Structure 1
């Protein structure tokens, strides 16, 4: 990384850009693969297997490459963040996708910047966001509104509304975990990500064994499509994507970190159109451009 230099892009800046691109694109694809993973398998069980597998790969790798063993306090702090980000938010999203289409789930997740901005303003930093950042937030929400389409939920079933409520809870939990990440005593970034996955995945698996008709060996009955999706999510969604997010949560302003929630719905809808036969009308393309405009405004507003 340090060997790559350009006249106007320093290595730390390049690392920021690469981590943002990782979260923007890889996490945008996870909605579709979560759907594939849980079509014929219980959601909490598969989410727990995904996160626990990723943690069991990442933690030994971190230790073998010289990263220090986390202290008890660091385990507790990283575990708390893992519960908020992964057990509640990620696990909840996996459940919610059973009740709402992947595109709608991604769109509702796009409300996350509002949760982060308001929580940071009222409870954490007590600092009002800049006018430019607020403008970017509003522009992004307008784009999300166009994607959802007014009146789109008028005939929604009670089960779909349950999914919508779960996603709102996921947004609140993820926003809280994101803001806490920069304030708690956490271990090295790689170790912290591994601990969060181990704690979050372990909790999901324990809950699954209690509330879902599964046992530890149920993964052996999963169809090939579910296993392939699980492998993709472990590598790209958890190990690469979540590690990139963990770095951003500790090194970038909350408003900038939250912009991924504007881009992910666009990626999710494009993938749904390409691989799941979902319709992508012209209005959605226009909304995508508006969303990206909001990302630019928030990114500029963080400097004011």
Structure 2
């Protein structure tokens, strides 16, 4: 029964992560909010939600987190929002996810981790998939948007690496969200366009902050402790696929052959690296 319950919560967490892409793209596509405002509302509402969750559990979130973690989180959130101005939901999720995993793999390599031939082949396939995704075609995003999403992925990869040794990951995330609030305020004052706010844009930003970020992370950290590291990494392969399907269902976005080929290369390649790492570690 516990495995079934954890499986359901895990599915909810993955759906929440994918929905972040949908909510951001939906708000920006309709022009009902600008990316700076979306980022600031998402971070501030997420910080408030996580603060309440940790406070109710007797945890002082301000005692956790770090400046480096907050900066990495802010780089992710801001790059994510600005990239989705001109990028489909699924394409953005693929670039984000690929960049996150590649950042962590490169970090591991330069810190002594060595890859087998199969892992190198998987890594090469993932990089080739990103190249395919950026080739001229129906699914190819502008290079500026791709660069911003890559920056967001590097930010989230760095954030994940910083949090690997955290003894209380939810409290650390709550603290980091709280520490991003001043950065969000500065971004809002510098680049936001409040006169363009519409109810739909604000609602999407609040849902992204409160539900799919705040509550989504809380659910993820509730179930991830029952997973091996390789299982946790593998299950996240579902997020870009879910995001692609959500974009198709709710926004009518086209799933082209180019996207399917890129998805197979990126997700298959990363899955190969992760699973070979597990196999090597078990020897």
- Residue 144 of structure 2: aligned partner: 162
Mapped partners of 2:110, 2:104: distance in 1: 10
**RMSD over aligned Cα, in angstroms?**
3.5
Query: Compared with structure 1, are the counterparts of its residues 118 and 258 closer, same or farther at alpha carbon in structure 2 (3 Å cutoff)?
Result: farther
Taking a change above 3 Å as real, the CA distance of residues 195 and 149 of structure 1, as seen in their structure-2 partners, is: closer
User: Which of residues 12, 33, 38 is equivalent to 1:41?
Assistant: 33
Which residue of 2 is the match for residue 64 of structure 1? 56
* Match in the other structure for 1:273: 248
CA distance in 2, matches of 1:71, 1:61: 13
Structure 1 residue 190 displacement after superposition: 2.7
Residue 97 of structure 1 aligns to a residue whose secondary structure is helix
Distance change (3 Å), C-alpha of 1:210 and 1:104 = same
Q: Give the structure with the larger helix fraction.
A: 2
1:301 and 2:272 correspond: no
* Count of equivalent residues: 274
In the alignment, structure 1 residue 188 sits paired with structure 2 residue 168:
yes
Counterpart selection for 1:116 from 88, 101, 104? 104
Distance 1:61 1:112, change over 3 A: closer
- How far apart are residue 206 of structure 1 and its match? 2.1
Contact 1:49–1:201 under 8 Å retained in 2: no
Deviations 1:231-253 (A, max 9, x none): 3312432113333556759x864
Q: Is the 8 A contact 1:137 1:298 kept in 2?
A: yes
The match for 2:113 among 120, 127, 130 is 127
Q: Does 1:212 align with 2:192?
A: yes
Secondary structure at the aligned position of 1:32 is classed as helix
CA offsets per residue over residues 238-273 of structure 1, 9 Å max, x none? 113333556759x864x6655566433222221222
Gapped runs of 5+ residues in structure 1?
7-13
- Whole-Å separation in 2 of the counterparts to 1:290 and 1:82: 32
Structure 1 segments of 4 or more deviating over 6 A?
153-156
Tell me by how many angstroms 1:208 deviates.
1.5
**Is structure 2 residue 137 aligned with structure 1 residue 152?**
yes
Name stretches of at least 5 consecutive residues in structure 2 with no aligned partner. none
Alignment partner of 1:223 is 2:198: yes
